[in-house]
Structure 1
């Protein structure tokens, strides 16, 4: 039996553990049906899949290099990532470690047509995520223009009235002011948090103050009277708690502390795990270097040659040029209606409906909060009125509004939509029409399965690409074409941080043609 891990996630801070339990139950049943042994659970709570800044997710990716498991099971693909770019990047990393990602509720097979469907489903998740955000945004914009607090945690130091306007809490204002003054004077964050906690107060989430909660407070312009939501920013819209002079003094210290921690983004190689050397059969890995004039150069190099386990004449292949050529050829396939029809028919066979446990969890939370509010109102009717009770009512109302917003979003996203042939064709057509980096990313991750590049006697390169759809007489899944030798590189001096030459390459200028001579291998 193969070893597998389960990755479960929910995005809303108002969701409960039942959402995680439901995901784990379905993933465990899936593992039993497919002969997989679960060895670990990785769980992220109240974190969106729109970002890859998820602690358990990152730990899981790091652990994949230990070779203790070869399969990751998710409830649905949008639990893994709701961003096609992140999905492609992390699946490439996992693939290099011999790990695959399986969906428990989306019946996606490991054959080529299953990969096509997986890409379409991920694209739909991203598409509906954007669409539902736009629909909710219209209603929330009106609230923001009136400076009404939309939803979520209320900033520490403020209360909210019946019209959703923020007002300073007299009991908390001195604490906020003291925290800002201590930070501006150079006090350590741990000492400030300890001081705040000594007053026996909690954050909007009901927790003690720590570094993350303090960071949110110290960076918030709310405390100088600025109301912000999305791209709406209104000054003097909220009663301020501290002066602008004190606030900006704190920002100067905060920025100076964090400026040195800014990391450079890593280079992305879209063909990693797909591109192989036609000489020795080894993988082509991404390489980069800086020339004497400071220009960065990116290319693919045979891993075996680099490790000196073999000698190949493939040389170094310029990253941007080879990625663009392969993506453009793949896109040309999707621009033919007959090809789209064949691919969509193949992918449609693997589709299966999915039950939305997240929506069920949100609806249950709505019922629970409504019941709590009713209980509070009954207590008031019986004459049991207190400051604590009124604070709870305000918090329940804020939580209920937030949950209702989440339900509206989830209903839009999961509107009973059966994936049809037309849906698949629509998304594949959109992939073919994209431009720039997103064009290369989506086309390559969706269409391309394997690439072999080999240097020919005339100096040009022969590229053979295998695509993610089943082979047929009408549409062969393999294509071979010649690429000019100008994608190779020689005689450019790459230097390290000390200016020492580390490699010599020469990069020829290369210009793309708008059309390709397209012939499929028999």
Structure 2
């Protein structure tokens, strides 16, 4: 009788998908058990997880890794598809089949990855993971851009400062019930008395901060008195924009209040030099960072910081001109033959199909959420017109739901922009790797460092020599002939 191979099942959904039929964990489990029965695979354990694709260190995922490490006779993983298995790029590295020796079955995609898989199979798979990561990163970036766009137009995102109230997402007015508290706080603190005395004085004068907390805390008061938004501007991520809301205090009063703060904030040392290789390397001897400094006003030298105590390499200063050629070689080794370009195009097509399913599902969820919020607003408005609820309750709920609707619309617009970026991503990867070295040499030190971080990891300096590993999936792009001579650990599958 043929011996059955042993495997574990890993199933995952995001919280948004749990409600969607066909994307549930039970649906995945049924699919994977059916595959196991048809292929004489024994399921020894199931791991179920509900979390987003961006979270790191999922409890069940790490539990699965520990189980496989402990049970050496179990080397197979069954999962529905790529985006169910990998929550982030780190997971992809942790489950690298060449390193772990595991065999991964992505049942819905009809893909089996193992140490014996060819390089082009691993390349296509790695490319799909990379593009999925970039799509999620772009989606997050575009969402932040949407919020930034709203802030740059002077509109508050989320909660407004104490003393203001929102009538709708684009209209913020002064709350005449709470504003006197804010103005009086500025007036008192501008006289030079302490924060502690200000909060006590406010309470003695009958100013109520909140129903549940009649006296404001010292920390809350300090933040209030340093909030520039009370000047009628809007500060978002350390940038100040002209606000669409009215000022609550004058510039003169605000400035007087700032002078009352006791400060002892000596500026920290700042290194304004953007060295090409700073932050890339660690010392091979002690593990400390490799830092850079300028000698004689023009020569850049690197050395170990020696932060952990004595290190023989702390006294070794290496000229940047001796290090740059070594990193040049690392970039040169990343090259694309025509066969690799064909493999990438295949991966792009497969990834495009997966992206389409993911984005359509996300768009459907967001549109459904927008519809639910609009329905709630319509319903509560009718209830207000029918005198079933009072104006205070109505305004509070409408404000919250308008804010929720505004956020959903930002995410929908971000999804659209992320999709447009995705279509350019494959071309960018191909063209970058085709001309990686030429582009690298034309870039600024900051951009060069970004590319090196993108390609390399575990960069160590020992003596005057640099060693490094290529990040996945770029190890599959390496020019195998030249690489094999220099790096014995390089993939040998052609």
TM category (shorter chain) comes to 0.5 to 0.7
Kindly report which structure 2 residues correspond to 1:268-417, keeping only aligned pairs within 5 A, or say none: 269-271=279-281, 285-288=287-290, 298-299=302-303, 318=318, 324-334=324-334, 338=338, 341=341, 344=344, 351=351, 353-354=354-355, 355-356=358-359, 359=363, 361-384=365-388, 385-414=390-419
Deviation at 1:378, TM superposition (A): 0.8
Q: Deviations over 1:413-435 (max 9, x none)?
A: 24696798646414545865353
Q: How many residues align?
A: 413
Question: Unpaired segments of 5 or more residues in structure 2?
Answer: 1-5, 33-42, 70-78, 95-99, 116-121, 272-276, 488-493
Counterpart selection for 2:158 from 144, 152, 155: 152
**What's the TM-score, normalizing by structure 2?**
0.56
Indicate the SS of the match to 1:285: coil
Mapped partners of 2:395, 2:470: distance in 1:
65
1:453 and 1:463 in contact (8 A); partners too: yes
Q: CA deviation at 1:285?
A: 3.0
Task: State how far apart, in whole Å, the 2-side matches of 1:242 and 1:70 are.
Answer: 63
CA-CA distance at 1:379 after TM superposition: 1.2
Inter-partner Cα distance in structure 2 for 1:364 and 1:229 = 30
CA RMSD of aligned residues (A): 6.6
What is the match of residue 200 of structure 1? 210
Residues 12-411 of structure 1 mapped to structure 2, 5 A cutoff: 18=16, 113=123, 118-127=129-138, 130=141, 140=150, 144=153, 149=155, 151-161=157-167, 164-180=170-186, 185-187=193-195, 199-200=209-210, 217-227=224-234, 233-234=241-242, 238-252=245-259, 256=263, 259=265, 269-271=279-281, 285-288=287-290, 298-299=302-303, 318=318, 324-334=324-334, 338=338, 341=341, 344=344, 351=351, 353-354=354-355, 355-356=358-359, 359=363, 361-384=365-388, 385-411=390-416
Inter-CA distance 69–245: structure 2 relative to 1 (3 Å threshold): farther
SS at match of 1:200: coil
Structure 1 range deviating more: 345-354 or 156-165: 345-354
Aligned counterparts of 1:342 and 1:125: Cα–Cα separation in 2: 25
Query: Conserved in 1, the CA contact under 8 Å of 2:335 and 2:433?
Result: no
Cα pair 1:471 1:477 within 8 Å, conserved: no
CA distance in structure 2 between the aligned counterparts of 1:223 and 1:381, rounded to whole angstroms: 35
Task: Call closer, same or farther: CA 1:264–1:43 in 2, change over 3 Å.
Answer: farther
Unpaired segments of 5 or more residues in structure 1? 10-16, 50-55, 82-86, 93-97, 278-282, 483-521
Q: Whose radius of gyration is greater, 1 or 2? A: 2
Give the whole-Å Cα distance in 2 for the aligned partners of 1:153 and 1:306. 52
Is residue 334–residue 428 contact of structure 1 (8 Å, CA) maintained in 2?
Answer: yes
From the two aligned structures, give the one with the greater helix fraction.
2
| 1:497-512 aligned within 5 A | none
Deviation, structure 1 residue 327? 3.7
Distance 1:436 1:415, change over 3 A: closer
Work out the CA distance in 1 between the residues paired with 2:319 and 2:49. 37
